[in-house]
Structure 1
Amino acid sequence: MQNHLRTFTLLAALTALFVGAGYLIGGPTGMLLAFVFAAGMNLISYWNADKIVLKMYRAVEVDEQHPEPLIRNYAADTLELAQRAGLPRPRIYVIDQDQPNAFATGRDPQHAAVAATRGLLGMLDRREIRGVMAHELAHVKNRDTLTMTVTATIAGAIGALANFAFLFGGRDEEGRPTGMVGAIAVAILGPIAASLVQMAISRHREYAADAEGAAICGDPHALAAALQKIEAYARGGAYNPDAERNPATAHMFIINPLAGRKGDNLFSTHPATHNRVEALMALVGGMGVGAPAGRRATAVPVTRAQRGPWGS
């Protein structure tokens, strides 16, 4: 219940930002139009936000029968982890990007999808990939994906509204621009406010998904090692052009995909990686597990009670 209340509050805040921006640009009429647009966007996003985001990144669906061994193992392991978590069978995607990263999307566990880049599959070992996908499935299990995906679409719309503020600020009878102060306020404050809401959404949920993901795969070390490798690659200036074109989706990824070349990292959407690793290591003693970094994760037997509704 608390998670649903937090989700409603955050989505309401984003909608209010959008409606407020409409008022600053066009007065009461602009506010009304923005409200109608926001309501329609929320409805469309609820049903189609996952498809929109996957299309943004040109993600390709795969399964455990894929001819490439790397992708076949990735799909098979993801399905096994979903069974462990008691989740329905998710759709599995690959993104043709060199930057190592992954995200989950979908309005509920019954319509969930997970995606990983080829860069992630090529850089991490199988144990670390399992840790990453367990994290993404934790977002599905915690029902974070709806909020994260809809937030991406609404925050993106706020950014677009700010970009067009100067063009649609209105003119008086003599053709002079009106509402310039409001337009400037939208252009400056709109993206900042949207970024702050995204940051509030992501940081709390990333810690929770790390903990739940470690429980799903039974190996906190694997996820910690994966996070450190991905972070080290990101610090090297790895560039994701699709993410740069759609910065409002940054909070969906396991590690911030933005290179910051255009100031995108002014507001980080993720907790510091070293803090996430420390939190994962604190779980090791309590779980009584955790293989050394160089050792393969051993399979944990899956009981019938742990299997999802599609398992046998």
Structure 2
Amino acid sequence: MRNHLRTFMLLAVMTALFAGVGYVVGGAVGMAVALVFAGAMNLVSYWNADRIVLAMYRATEVDAGHPELLIRAYVQDVHELAARASMPAPRVYVIDQDQPNAFATGRDPDHAAVAATRGLLGMLDRREIRGVMAHELAHVKHRDTLTMTITATIAGAIGALANFAFLFGGRDGEGRPTGIVGTIVMMIVAPMAAALVQMAISRGREYEADREGAELSGDPQALASALQKIDAYARGGYVNPDAERNPATAHMFIVNPLAGGGADNLFSTHPSTENRVAALMDHAQRLGGRPRQTAVPVTAGTRRIGPWS
């Protein structure tokens, strides 16, 4: 119920932002057109946002009969973790990108999908991949994916509308030009407001999904190690071109896929990896009574390819 209310509030905020940019672009008529467009976007986002995002990343659906050993095991592990979480098995996708990363999408557990890049499957060991996918399934179980996916599609549309305002100028309520300064301000403010909504909904979700994912996989250290490796490679030159072209989707990934993203600050869509690892190590100690330790740091200079150890 709480997640449905949060999604409704998110849609209301995004619709208001759309209307505001529409007013700048075309006055009262522009606002009316923007409201109609926002209503249509809300409906499309609810029913089809997962397909839109998967298409953005040219994700390919795979199954347990895939000829590659790595992908077969990946699919099997996702299905096994979903069964352990007492939820339907999601559709499973692979993204042909070198940067290691993963995300989940879908409006509810019955219509969910998880996606991992080939970079992630080739770099992490099987324990670490299980930890990552358990994290993503935690998002699905708590229906975070609906809000995260809708935010991605609507925030991207707001950015596009703000760019439209910049290119074609704006009008006030009586149809008079608002001037280039007002248009530039709106072009900056609208995407920033959308980004603030993204940040508000994503940081706390990541900590919670880390905790639940660690419990689901039973291996907090593996998830902590995976986060460190993914973060190191994302910062070490493995750029995800599709993410750079669609920055409104960055909050969906387990680690910020954008070049230079990361620290806990006002403009970060994710908590810092260091803070997440520390929380996971503390959780590991509580779960198993093992001594607190730090996952082994990695650099982006080496990459393991081939069968899992």
TM over 0.5: same fold? Answer: yes
Contact 1:18 1:158 in 2 (8 A): yes
Alignment of 1:49-198 (within 5 A): 49-169=49-169, 177-198=177-198
The amino acid across from 1:239 in the alignment is V
TM-score, structure 2 normalization: 0.88
Unmatched segments (≥5 aa) in structure 1: 295-312
User: Using the alignment, how far apart are the partners of 1:290 and 1:19 within structure 2?
Assistant: 54
For residue 165 of structure 2, give the secondary structure of its aligned residue in structure 1.
coil
Contact 1:10–1:201 (Cα < 8 Å) also in 2: no
Is the contact between residue 18 and residue 34 of structure 1 (CA under 8 Å) also seen in structure 2?
yes
Percent identity for Structure 1 against Structure 2:
75
Q: Distance in 2 between matches of 1:5 and 1:130?
A: 31
Moved more, 251-260 or 15-24: 15-24
What's the TM-score once normalised by structure 1's chain length? 0.87
Q: How does 1:281-296 map to 2 (within 5 A)?
A: 281-288=281-288
- Cα deviations across residues 200-222 of structure 1 (Å, max 9, x unaligned)? 11101111111111111111111
On the 8 A contact 1:218/1:290 being kept in 2, the answer is no
Give the Cα–Cα distance (whole angstroms) in 1 for the partners of residues 170 and 137 of structure 2: 47
SS in 1 for 2:192: helix
**Deviations for 1:3-40, whole angstroms, at most 9, x for unmatched residues?**
33233222322221111111122211111111110110
The structural deviation recorded for 1:260 is 4.2
- Relative to structure 1, is the Cα distance of residues 144 and 177 closer, same or farther in structure 2, using a 3 angstrom cutoff? same
1:290–1:75: structure 2 CA closer, same or farther, 3 Å change rule?
farther
Preserved contact between residue 219 and residue 289 of structure 1 (Cα < 8 Å): no
Secondary structure of 2:55's aligned partner: helix
Residues in 2 aligned to 1:210 and 1:190: alpha-carbon distance in whole angstroms: 31
Tell me the CA shift for residue 177 of structure 1.
5.0
C-alpha displacement of 1:178: 4.2
Q: Which runs of 5+ in 2 are unaligned?
A: 297-309
The residue aligned with 1:274 is: 274
Q: Which residue of 1 aligns with 2:299?
A: none
- Residue aligned with 1:103, SS: strand
Q: Which residue of 2 aligns with 1:234?
A: 234
Distance 2:136 2:82 in 1: 10
SS at match of 1:105: strand
Q: 2:24 aligned with 1:24, yes or no?
A: yes
Secondary structure, counterpart of 2:58 in structure 1:
coil
